[in-house]
Amino acid sequence: MTTDRLARQIAFVAEADKLKTILRRTPLTDNSRQENSAEHSWHLAVAAMALLEYAPPGTNLLRVLELVTIHDLVEIDAGDTFAYDATAGLDKAERERAAAERIFSLLPPDEGARLRGLWEEFEEAQSPEARFANALDRLQALLQNLGAGGGSWVAHQVTRPQVVKRMAPIETTLPAVWPFVLEVIQNACASGLIRE
């Protein structure tokens, strides 16, 4: 017989599957289609494992994996807000808080509070793990746009100042990676993928 706790956990897991239907503006690196938010979360988990040596000292990888897995679940209700769309960003926090309330309340209260806490930790970007996860979130989009021949940068006429501002968490959290980021931006500008 299924307990109420298990039934709630199963309902949450089933709801989380909807993240696969949320399309992002960033294309896959082969530019064949847009990635979905579940693929994005998986890709961040892979990046966290591969780039752990650049994380702040003492960063807990398991915590980072939890953060990147949970961070976009609110998009099931709130949708993906394009990073370079200032207008859509105006009510993003409100939409995402409402989504977090609904989605995490599907779980038993103790577990819902724990997972919501992970989402809030990612959003606040104060812990070493959350700063690392946020920096990877920025880096992943940079790499995909680069691989896709400009991807959403070209489609939305994104400028150098916008990209540099968006990538700022990488400079402070992954300083050894920052020169690479600047080189990518410089080359993308020179190639016309990012507007000056």
Would you say 40 and 22 are in contact if contact means Cβ atoms under 8 Å apart? no
pLDDT tens, residue by residue, 28-81: 999 999 999 999 999 999 999 999 999 999 999 999 999 999 999 999 999 999
Encoded tokens for 171? 């400079």
d(CA 81, CA 73): 13
Q: Write down the pLDDT at residue 86.
A: 85
**Helix/strand/coil for 27:** strand
d(CA 188, CA 147): 11
What kind and span of H or E run contains 10? helix 4-16
Give the per-residue pLDDT at 41.
98
Question: Which domains are seen in the chain, by residue range?
Answer: 4-190 (1.10.3210.10)
Rounded to whole angstroms, the Cα distance separating 94 from 111 reads: 23
